[in-house]
Chains A and B, each alone.
Chain A
Amino acid sequence: MTRHGGVAAPSGHRGDLLGLSGRLTAGWQDSDQAARLSGHLDRYGPPPQHGSGRAGTLIDAVTQAGLTGRGGAGFPTGVKMRSVASRRGRAVVVANGMESEPASEKDKALLARAPHLVLDGAVLAATSIGAGTVHLCVPRSRQWLMTIAADAVAERERAGFDPVKIEVHGLPQHYVSSEETSIVRWLNGGDARPTAVPPRPFEKGVGQRPTLLDNVETLAHIALIARFGPAWYRQAGLADAPGTMLTTVSGAVQAPGVYEIEVGTPIADVLAMSGASPEAGSLLIGGYFGTWHDRQDVAGLAMASTGLRPVGASPGAGVLVVLPPDACGLGETARVLAWLAGQGAGQCGPCVFGLPAIADDFAQLASGRPRGPALDRLDRRLSTVFGRGACRHPDGAVRLARSALAAFATDVKSHVSRRVCVSARTGQQPRPGGVLPIPGPTDREIWR
């Protein structure tokens, strides 16, 4: 079930910085196999000397490079590293490869092609903050990916490559299990469900130790910054959002897949390189916690948190879905909301009761059969639920629902008053089956 087959060769970016055709994706088009350690070292050269007593220099380099987290939150990575390093006690590093976002493929693709780049970054980060252990976490349902990761770790162990221990873990797969506190809780012997904060992982994480938890793509960038320096890193991207990023493009495009783009690439360029349907009018930016937009409103904007902020969007984990012209945005959103309602951790009342109620309101709206004042009720519930969970699961669902109501406002009116879907512009019913992928059922009782 290797789903990284859609990885496309990146184009239209200054990829020859390394004399190669990409940074993270260098060599991907030549092979669909995971790079072996020797091939990885041929491609990128050896990482700088581990534990050479220059602790702090990598933190400085990452800070100067302006790297931000690629898991969706976009927090400055250097600041996070320094926060962990300044705490008392031996630190721990966690590489988050859980990627529970259904519309994202990039972390799977990265780990499947360049596992050693991720592991280099994790080990370099560990030595820079004084950590002795790296935990690489992937969903246990992706057995093929766990095998790739375990093989890569075994290869490094045989070569005596790393000064720190690396452990690969398979966690239960739920949408909220990729949340950082879920991972820490699981590594501490508990459920892969979010905990109330504070304390945050950087204060008290794995084994009560200060814990640096980073997305696997973030760690891969660290591996490159350690080798080539912050000035090189900043040769790509924007001054206030430097470097490259992996982005997953899907929906009404000719070449869906994972692309490495410069941070801040105009959305129109990303649509062009993936061959987006010219008739498609709406985009989902940032994934299932993201926002819907009219294509014309965002085509000129930069794929970067700074560039998207004016329209209330965020790249999230680099997700872009092009809504086919014959699909109904309200129907798509209703399907996702129903799925999100069932993907909560079942811990916080406002989420347990609020999300199913919101999903139900939305479904009534999408089907054109509202019971009572569904729109007012939905609006009130969206306000009520936001910000009242231990994690951001309810907030993400609310953001998606609100953006759909705004982006498809005309459709809302016609669904409610005329009970027809005008987004099926060809005059037919919206396409059956839906566009946005809804993962199959997971065992909701298994959190350990």
Chain B
Amino acid sequence: MKHRLAVNPIACTGHGICAEMLPELIGLDEWGYPILAERDVPHELAALSRRAVRLCPTLALRLEASNAERRVPTGGDRGADRTARPR
């Protein structure tokens, strides 16, 4: 099964360990928070990705099945067209 990296932005405090371990898939923005590649984890980086997930100090990084995106009800107030980009 194909996997993709995902981050819980509330839990993430920008330690940056993940970007050091996986520069191929994770960059940092100017404030030190991770920017994840929008592609599946290639086979050769699978073990390293699992390790980065384990070593995240706030448990914010995870691997999820890359077909996990579905069209689901979204709602609440405001926010135009939330369905355009399911997460």
Contacts and interface: CB of A to CB of B under 8 A. Distances in A.
Interface string A86-106: 000000000010111100000
Interface stretch (B5-13, B17-25, B40-48, B49-57): B5-13
B9 A350 contact: yes
Contact of B78 (A181, A354, A396): A396
B72 interface: yes
A348 B32 CA distance: 12
B77 A99 contact: yes
Given A83-B73, A178-B76, A388-B35, A349 B81 contact: no
Which of B12, B14, B77 counts the most chain A CB atoms within 10 A? B77
Given A71-B75, A80-B75, A392 B9 contact: no
Given A347-B10, A389-B9, A215 B29 contact: no
Contacts of B81: 73-74, 305, 314
A349 B35 CA distance: 11
A213 B76 contact: yes
Nearest to A286: B80
B31 A73 contact: no
A287 B82 CA distance: 15
B33 A96 contact: no
Interface string A76-88: 0001100100000
Nearest to B38: A387
Contact of B33 (A197, A202, A388, A392): A388
B66 to A, nearest CB: 15
Nearest to B60: A196
A388 B9 contact: yes
Contacts of A348: 9-10, 12
Interface string B69-87: 0001111111111110101
B11 A349 contact: no
A34 B34 CA distance: 50
A98 to B, nearest CB: 6
A325 interface: no
A91 to B, nearest CB: 13
Contacts of A418: none
B9 A215 contact: no
B12 to A, nearest CB: 6
Contacts of A390: 8-10
Contacts of A305: 81
B13 A349 contact: yes
Contacts of B79: 72-73, 179, 289, 316, 392, 395-396
B9 A349 contact: yes
Interface residues of A, number: 60
Contacts of B30: 357, 381, 384
A178 B9 contact: no
Contact of A71 (B8, B10, B78, B85): B78
A106 to B, nearest CB: 11
A123 interface: no
Given A289-B80, A392-B82, A399-B80, A73 B74 contact: yes
Interface string A182-199: 110000000000011110
Nearest to B29: A384
Contacts of B80: 72-74, 286, 289-291, 313-316, 396, 399
Contacts of B35: 384, 388
Given A75-B83, A349-B12, A180 B76 contact: yes
A214 interface: yes
A96 B29 CA distance: 35
Given A350-B29, A384-B29, A392-B82, A75 B77 contact: no
A349 B77 contact: no
A240 to B, nearest CB: 15
Contacts of B32: 349
B33 A73 contact: no
Interface of A: 69, 71-75, 79-80, 83, 96, 98-101, 178-183, 195-198, 200-202, 213-215, 286-291, 305, 313-317, 347-351, 353-354, 357, 381, 384, 387-390, 392, 395-396, 399
Given A72-B80, A396-B80, 18 more contacts: A71-B75, A73-B79, A73-B81, A74-B81, A75-B82, A100-B77, A178-B77, A179-B79, A195-B10, A201-B75, A214-B75, A289-B80, A290-B80, A313-B80, A317-B78, A347-B10, A349-B12, A357-B30
